[in-house]
């Protein structure tokens, strides 16, 4: 087993507040939520970031977005709206080097990423 935090969460070796899980994807509450709904959606396979995905693994994006729809519905933001963000690398402020989407919602958000 590698030393990756989200690999360990995905394998159930570190506890998290799981809101969705299937064979390839897990979704759990962010430890320090930035919105009333703040869920992290990860592949169970270790892939570092969007830019590290290669041809055999592109299906993971379908899996992650399918999971995002499930989560948005279960968290009651499917109709009201939600934001899906993935930070890719240093300039984007990625702090955990395992591909993940943030699903944020539950309030009206502003848009000022810089
Ligand atoms: P990034 O900054 O890489 O885009 O997002 C990493 C996210 O992981 C942050 O929002 C941070 O709060 C969250 N996080 C870091 N460590 C843990 C943890 O141990 N458990 C959970 N549930 N979230 C974590
Ligand atoms: Zn990992």
- Ranges of each domain in the chain: 5-105
Q: Which two tokens stand for residue 113?
A: 């990423």
100 is annotated as an active-site residue: yes
What ligand is nearest to the CA atom of residue 41? 1
Q: Is the CB–ligand 1 distance for residue 48 below 6 Å?
A: no
Q: What is the pLDDT of residues 45-68, one digit of tens each?
A: 999 999 999 999 999 999 999 999
Q: Is the CB–ligand 1 distance for residue 32 below 6 Å?
A: yes
Q: How many CA atoms lie within 13 A of 85 on its CB side?
A: 18
Q: Is the CB–ligand 1 distance for residue 95 below 6 Å?
A: yes
Q: How many Cβ atoms are within 10 Å of 18's Cβ, its own excluded?
A: 14
CATH, range 5-105:
3.30.428.10
Ligand 1 centroid from CA 56, angstroms:
27
pLDDT band with cut points at 50, 70 and 90 for residue 1: low
Assess contact for 106 and 77: CB atoms under 8 A. yes
Q: How many Cβ atoms are within 10 Å of 2's Cβ, its own excluded?
A: 7
Q: How many Cβ atoms are within 10 Å of 87's Cβ, its own excluded?
A: 16
């Amino acid at each position: 087993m590698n030393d990756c935090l989200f690999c360990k969460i995905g394998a159930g070796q570190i506890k998290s507040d799981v809101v969705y899980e299937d064979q390839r994807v897990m979704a759990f509450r962010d430890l320090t939520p930035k919105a009333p709904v703040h869920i992290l959606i990860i592949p169970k396979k270790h892939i570092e970031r969007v830019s590290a995905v290669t041809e055999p693994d592109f299906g993971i994006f379908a899996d992650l977005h399918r999971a995002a729809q499930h989560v948005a519905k279960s968290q009651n933001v499917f109709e009201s709206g939600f934001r899906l963000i993935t930070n890719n690398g240093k300039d984007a402020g990625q702090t955990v080097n395992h591909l993940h989407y943030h699903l944020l919602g539950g309030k009206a958000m502003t848009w000022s990423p810089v």
